[in-house]
């Protein structure tokens, strides 16, 4: 048999294997866990992973090229660079702003970056790791995004950038944030790790359907960990339309090297042995010239191959997330007395990562009592990541500024949680969860009598 015939035969067997191993199980209330997130895939992802394994290229190759160009085209930017995680993407995005290639615009130690404490740690960590100062602004409930009217209070002569996430897929107010960034000459990094597929419509009377988040700021980051909108197992990406930033990010991602040859390529610049860099001797091999203090944050082609297939499903995944969000919202409607329900930012159409809920102070029960109850009924919930990062052990002594006492950030830490919206979830599981919540509320009310 030829190689092509063998590949075809293997692909056929993989499809059969998938049918046997991953046959859909029916949901048994109280026995089957209600997950908050998970991988959703079919035989195509398995076949792609095997196809890339048969190539045995292993590092980034043809599938990485394809994934990067499809992702950039989908989001509507020029460049997408694959990484091994969303956290790595965040590290690259922020570190890129410190590059000497940016001249006077580069961020220097002691410069300030505006962010929030109600979020995921690795949005904030790159700020600290680059010896910059995070400036924390409180969040709004129930959009769970930065309070835009507080941002200007956070400005100082040292403010150089805003680095915030579209919380749980809900775009922050891009009109306001971009307006402030433009007015004060700040970089904007959008952490879109939870928001692939969310859209935002700029300005009143703008285009009717909006643009994808990740196409607004100078740099955007994405995560492809299994909980996210598409998964590569582990994985992430940095997106930008700025050629210089793309070059810097590629360099930082690839050991800090100046050379931009793809894996296995040589002399793309045509000056491999004739350039002069730093204090190196003339003609020093460009492959080993380092213009940044870099890392190796590349992913593998097996991951990228899975990503190519996942990306084809993105629209249907996002539709399912929006449908599940709506189902939760309708089901929770009669319990508004107990819960603050989530709200999309005006002008946004979120592909919700989750359904966040805040237990009202007057509910008569706590967030933890409820999530504990749900947990014993095999219904997964999650807190809004780190709650208030400033109260986490690792952050107790970090250099920072904060605007006020961050009361809503504390409220998120104490009273908020989220349920899943991922495409693996459907009405049956949502109804079961709501029955369980109803039971909890009735029992709590009885106990109080």
Ligand X SMILES: Cc1ncc(COP(=O)(O)O)c(C=O)c1O
Positions marked catalytic: 228
Interface residue with ligand X, options 37, 47, 50, 87 (CB under 6 A): 87
Interface residue with ligand X, options 63, 120, 187, 440 (CB under 6 A): 120
Q: β-strand 416-420 against 219-223: which pairing, if any?
A: unpaired
Q: How would you label 179-216 residue by residue, b for 16+ Cβ within 10 Å and e otherwise?
A: ebbeeeebbbbbbbbbbbbbbbbeeeeeeeebbbbbbb
**In the complex with ligand X, which residue's Cβ is closer, 166 or 257?**
166
Residues 6+ apart with CB under 8 A from 323: none
**In the complex with ligand X, which residue's Cβ is closer, 50 or 238?**
238
**In the complex with ligand X, which residue's Cβ is closer, 139 or 363?**
139
The answer to whether the beta carbons of residues 43 and 14 sit under 8 Å apart is: yes
Stretch that binds ligand X, among 118-126, 253-261, 401-409, 420-428 (CB under 6 A): 118-126
Interface residue with ligand X, options 60, 140, 194, 301 (CB under 6 A): 194
Interface residue with ligand X, options 68, 85, 159, 388 (CB under 6 A): 85
Stretch that binds ligand X, among 46-54, 85-93, 198-206, 418-426 (CB under 6 A): 85-93
Stretch that binds ligand X, among 55-63, 81-89, 94-102, 394-402 (CB under 6 A): 81-89
**In the complex with ligand X, which residue's Cβ is closer, 225 or 260?**
225
**In the complex with ligand X, which residue's Cβ is closer, 226 or 364?**
226
- Restricted to residues 134-193, the positions that interact with ligand X (CB under 6 A) are 165, 191, 193
Q: How far apart are CA 355 and CA 54, in angstroms?
A: 40
**In the complex with ligand X, which residue's Cβ is closer, 237 or 437?**
237
Residues in the interface with ligand X (CB under 6 A) total 15
**Phi/psi class of residue 198: alpha, beta or left (left: φ > 0; alpha: ψ in -120 to 50)?**
beta
**In the complex with ligand X, which residue's Cβ is closer, 199 or 331?**
199
- Restricted to residues 121-140, the positions that interact with ligand X (CB under 6 A) are 122-123
DSSP 417-446: EEEE--TT--HHHHHHHHHHHHHHHHHHHH
- Restricted to residues 209-268, the positions that interact with ligand X (CB under 6 A) are 223, 225, 236
Q: How far is the CB of 230 from ligand X (least distance, A)?
A: 12
CA dist 93 → 180, 238, 414 (Å): 20, 7, 31
For residue 309, the cross-strand partners are: none
Give the helix/strand (H/E) hosting 80: strand 79-83
Q: How far is the CB of 406 from ligand X (least distance, A)?
A: 18
Q: How far is the CB of 119 from ligand X (least distance, A)?
A: 6
Q: How far is the CB of 385 from ligand X (least distance, A)?
A: 6
Total Cβ atoms within 10 A of residue 405? 9
**Phi/psi class of residue 259: alpha, beta or left (left: φ > 0; alpha: ψ in -120 to 50)?**
beta
Total Cβ atoms within 10 A of residue 110? 10
Total Cβ atoms within 10 A of residue 129? 12
The closest alpha carbon to 295, from 87, 43, 100, belongs to 87
Stretch that binds ligand X, among 84-92, 267-275, 311-319, 429-437 (CB under 6 A): 84-92
**Interface characters, 410-439, with ligand X (x: CB under 6 A):** ------------------------------
How much of the chain is in helix, strand and coil states, percent to nearest 5?
40, 15, 45
Give me the residue whose beta carbon is nearest to ligand X: 86
**In the complex with ligand X, which residue's Cβ is closer, 332 or 418?**
418
Q: How far is the CB of 56 from ligand X (least distance, A)?
A: 25
Which residue's structure tokens are 């910059």?
Answer: 132
Q: How far is the CB of 272 from ligand X (least distance, A)?
A: 34
Q: How far is the CB of 315 from ligand X (least distance, A)?
A: 21
Q: How far is the CB of 357 from ligand X (least distance, A)?
A: 18
The closest alpha carbon to 131, from 311, 410, 398, belongs to 398
Determine whether 447 is exposed, middle or buried from the number of CB atoms within 10 Å of its CB (0-12, 13-18, 19+). Answer: exposed
Interface residue with ligand X, options 86, 142, 171, 210 (CB under 6 A): 86
Total Cβ atoms within 10 A of residue 109? 9
- Residues lying near ligand X in the complex (CB under 6 A) are found at 85-87, 90, 119-120, 122-123, 165, 191, 193-194, 223, 225, 236
């Amino acid at each position: 048999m030829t190689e092509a015939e063998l590949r075809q035969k293997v692909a056929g067997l993989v499809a059969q294997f998938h049918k046997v191993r991953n046959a859909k199980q029916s949901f048994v209330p109280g026995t089957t866990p209600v997950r908050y997130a998970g991988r959703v895939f079919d035989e195509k992802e398995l076949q792609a992973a095997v196809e890339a394994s048969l190539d045995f290229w292993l590092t980034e190759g043809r599938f990485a090229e394809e994934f990067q160009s499809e992702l950039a085209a989908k989001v509507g930017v020029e460049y997408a660079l694959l990484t091994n995680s969303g956290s790595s993407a965040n590290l690259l995005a922020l570190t890129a702003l410190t590059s000497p290639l940016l001249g006077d615009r580069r961020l220097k130690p002691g410069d300030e970056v505006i962010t929030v404490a109600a979020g995921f740690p690795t949005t904030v960590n790159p700020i600290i790791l680059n010896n910059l100062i995070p400036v924390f602004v409180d969040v709004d409930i129930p959009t769970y995004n930065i309070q835009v009217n507080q941002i200007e209070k956070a400005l100082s002569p040292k403010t150089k950038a805003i680095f915030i996430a579209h919380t749980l897929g809900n775009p922050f107010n891009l009109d306001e944030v971009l307006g402030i960034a433009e007015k004060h000459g700040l970089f904007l990094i959008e952490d879109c790790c939870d928001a692939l597929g969310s859209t935002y419509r700029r300005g009143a009377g703008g285009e009717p359907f909006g643009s994808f988040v990740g196409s607004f700021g100078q740099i955007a980051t994405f995560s492809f960990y299994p909980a996210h909108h598409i998964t590569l197992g582990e994985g992430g990406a940095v997106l930008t339309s700025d050629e210089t930033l793309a070059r810097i990010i590629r360099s930082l991602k690839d050991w800090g090297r100046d050379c931009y040859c793809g894996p296995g390529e040589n002399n793309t610049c045509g000056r491999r042995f004739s350039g002069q860099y730093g204090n190196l001797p003339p003609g020093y091999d460009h492959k080993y010239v380092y213009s940044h203090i870099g890392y190796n944050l590349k992913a593998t082609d097996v991951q990228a191959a899975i990503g190519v297939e996942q990306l084809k499903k993105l629209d249907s995944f996002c539709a399912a997330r929006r449908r599940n969000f709506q189902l939760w919202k309708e089901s929770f409607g009669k319990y508004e007395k107990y819960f603050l329900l989530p709200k999309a930012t005006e002008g946004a159409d979120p592909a919700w990562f989750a359904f966040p809920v805040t237990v009202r102070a007057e509910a008569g029960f706590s967030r933890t009592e409820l999530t504990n109850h749900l947990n014993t009924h095999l219904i997964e919930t999650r807190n809004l990541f780190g709650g208030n990062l400033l109260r986490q052990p690792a952050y107790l002594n970090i250099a920072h500024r904060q605007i006020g006492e961050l009361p809503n950030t504390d409220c998120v830490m104490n009273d908020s949680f989220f349920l899943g919206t991922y495409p693996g979830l459907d009405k049956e599981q949502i109804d079961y969860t709501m029955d369980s919540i109803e039971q909890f509320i009735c029992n709590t009310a009885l106990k109080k009598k």
